[in-house]
A and B are shown apart, each in its own frame.
Chain A
Amino acid sequence: MFAYMLRRIVYALPIALSVTVICFLLVHIAPGDPLSAVAPVDAPTEVIEALKRAYGLDKPLVVQYGLWLGRAVQGDLGSSVATGRAVTGEVLGAVSNTLLLAFVAACLGFLAGCAMGGIAGYRSRSVLDRVVSALSVAGVSVPHYWLGMVLTIIFSAQLHWLPAMGAGPGGSGAWTWDYAHIRHLILPAVTLSVIPMGMVARTVRALVADVLGQEFVQALLAKGLTHRQVFFHVVKNVAPTALAVMGLQLGYLLGGSILVETVFAWPGTGFLLNNAIFQRDIPLLQGTILILSLFFVALNLLVDIVQPMLDPRMRRS
């Protein structure tokens, strides 16, 4: 098991490295000159050259990458062009907000999805099953920024129950688990949870229906187990795949919350990315994408390690 974990971690390293290459190149491949945001359009050539030297843009791409990576490893992702603040600090602050939102949304989505999928799987081909299937298809297909706006209109504008934007009175850097803050979290978390809920519900429904159709369920009943006891067997059979799906969904939630964070002005990475894109703030963009991608790699690694712990058939030498 330890060797397996070690191997998985070693396998994840080249992936992480290619992620950094892509992050670095993405910005250079994208059309437009990174200097256009700092230098005026009519700046003389000498100024442009001086700026290029200052930002290290005159060196070959490989050297630029090496220098960038070297600094990134030490935790220095440069400073934001727009604000002049260190990117690392900006991104980490935003990451903690995004993690909070994504984690709560994932828990909501996972619990609701498992419950819905479980019921639908146990009652497959019933009316309830069809309702759940319809709901999960809707959950996956409905654009969540639209849903976010609709929820805002209903619960903020009309009913005045919940705030429409922001992360609470403390602002972006001071989250605490009190009512004043949590009520800011409800709408974005619910909005964001709809997609994983749909995905998990569909997956769990299919898995449960499949497991229940298998001979071993008959064998479990045949040895005198009650349906409640059989249920635990079903859970253990379904868990590895359901958790793998959820792990990937959590990854998507980290990056995929751009629109939801923008709709609710939630000070997370999505919000940050959105600003960075519109302000052509390349160091900030690079840093944010890099950290989000690395989170994604880490989540996959975690899923890879947890899955064989749950499913003995995946434990190979």
Chain B
Amino acid sequence: MFRFRPRHPLSTPPAEATGAAAAEAPLVEVSDLTVEFTGSRKASAVNGVSFSLPKGRVLGLLGESGSGKSVTLRALMRLLPPRRSRIGGRILVDGQDVLALDEKGLAHYRGGIASMIFQEPILAFDPVYTVGRQIAEAVRAHDAVDWATARARAIEMLEHVQIPQAARRYESYPHEISGGMRQRAMIALALSCRPKLLLADEPTTALDATVQIQILLLLRELQKEFGMSVIFVTHDIGVAVEVSDRLAVMYGGRIVEEGDLAAVVRNPRHPYTAGLLASTVTPGLRGRRLTTIPGAPPDLSDLPQGCAFAPRCAFASADCAAAVPPVRAFGQAGRLACFHPLESAVPGALGPGPIAVPTA
């Protein structure tokens, strides 16, 4: 079914730059994705998520715990337990229907077309194999090369993610290297087969603040160099702002607002996005009390009939509780699911939100 696809050796320059991507078909197209966990406790983790991602762009998927962002990512990777979950909708990545792949197709897709990096690198490495061996194993899973070649490729990748003494580190076990180093190695593993899509599941959350920024910069650099698309899941707006081109905000298993990074951050339209931005710590807020969103996230096993955010929303009315607001196009390139979107130019009403948006 799948033929061996020759790959560029690491030394050649990246295939294409980010600019020309807009006209092509998007690399990722997710439509009406639903994920339901069955078993003793039923929960609807993702409830109709649709988005598309062009080649070479970075989508930040922002939301708090239980918003469905990680589950969306794992659905894209088909990593959800098949016996305890049901996935609906459609996922197209690089023209392939991900939900229809068989085991062989999946093995080719995972790591070859889409790759994933995890929140806790110490947990994501097999503790009884060396780091390098696990990277070489990924290489061998996709290319018909012997161990010596795979080893050379792995060491090259380790050097690429700026791990000093890469050849020595190849022989290290995961518990023998630092957290930041492990995450670098994880990135090396994920990129070792040149995937077109990188899925990053809160890759900096478990790291020290100083290491966090190094990893973010590295990711951004590699993304540009390899021309990959990235979906970056995080609950940290600061991190999302650092890496994303576009931002999608999730709540209760739905995308409530999506748009270009600057538009969403400077001018949030959904009350939840605005609340999230207002509750973020920024230097300008020193000495002032932080704004919080009242209430708690919804129970995914018992979602309200209408807008999941309505019980916590200051702008909610009767129609919010009656039906889920449909996702509508909004602004130049944005989408929004709210009956009472905030007016533009009044984000100050909810807080200052002076988050610096880096200009490209």
Contact = CB atoms under 8 A, between A and B. Distances in A.
A222 B175 contact: no
Contacts of A223: 110-111, 115, 137-138, 141, 189-190, 193
A313 B141 contact: no
A316 to B, nearest CB: 11
Contacts of A225: 107, 137, 141
B128 A236 contact: yes
B142 A216 contact: no
A124 to B, nearest CB: 10
A236 B129 contact: yes
A222 B115 CA distance: 6
B89 interface: no
Interface in A296-317: 310-313
Contacts of B173: 312-313
Contacts of A224: 107-112, 138, 141-142, 193
Contact of B79 (A221, A227, A233): A221
A218 interface: yes
Given A220-B126, A237-B128, A313-B128, A215 B120 contact: yes
Given A222-B79, A222-B110, 9 more contacts: A216-B125, A216-B126, A220-B126, A223-B138, A224-B107, A226-B104, A233-B126, A311-B128, A313-B175
Contacts of B190: 222-223
Contacts of A312: 127-128, 130, 173, 175
Contacts of A240: 128
A313 B174 CA distance: 9
A222 B126 contact: no
B109, B110, B173, B193: residue with the most chain A Cβ atoms closer than 10 Å = B110
B116 interface: yes
A214 B104 CA distance: 23
B226 interface: no
B77 interface: yes
A310 B173 CA distance: 13
Contacts of A226: 103-104, 107
Interface in A220-273: 220-227, 229, 233, 236-237, 240
A224 B190 CA distance: 10
Interface in A80-100: none
A216 B193 contact: no
Classify the interface of chain B: helix, strand, loop or mixed. helix
B192 to A, nearest CB: 8
A219 interface: yes
B127 A227 contact: no
Interface in B23-72: none
A311 B137 CA distance: 19
Classify the interface of chain A: helix, strand, loop or mixed. helix
A313 B104 CA distance: 33
Contacts of B74: 218
Interface of B: 74, 77, 79, 103-104, 107-112, 115-116, 118, 120, 123-130, 137-138, 141-142, 173, 175, 186, 189-190, 193
Interface in A175-222: 214-216, 218-222
Nearest to A213: B81
Contact residues on A (Cβ < 8 Å of other chain), bracket: 20 to 34
Contacts of A311: 128
Contacts of B142: 224
Contact of B118 (A219, A233, A310, A313): A219
Contacts of B108: 224
A48 B317 CA distance: 106
A220 B189 CA distance: 10
A-B interface, 8 closest residue pairs, ranked by CB to CB distance from nearest: A224-B111, A215-B123, A223-B111, A223-B138, A219-B124, A222-B116, A224-B110, A224-B141
Nearest to B139: A223
Given A218-B79, A224-B141, A313-B173, A233 B123 contact: no
Nearest to A240: B128
Given A223-B189, A225-B141, A313-B175, A216 B127 contact: yes
B124 A215 contact: yes
A216 B175 CA distance: 13
A227 B79 CA distance: 12
Nearest to B186: A219
Given A215-B118, A219-B118, A224-B193, A229 B123 contact: no
A94 to B, nearest CB: 40
Contact of A310 (B79, B126, B128): B128
A233 B110 contact: no
B123 A214 contact: yes
Contacts of B109: 224
B124 A221 contact: no
A215 B193 CA distance: 21
Contacts of A236: 126, 128-129
B127 A313 contact: yes
A219 B126 CA distance: 9
B319 to A, nearest CB: 41
Contacts of B104: 226
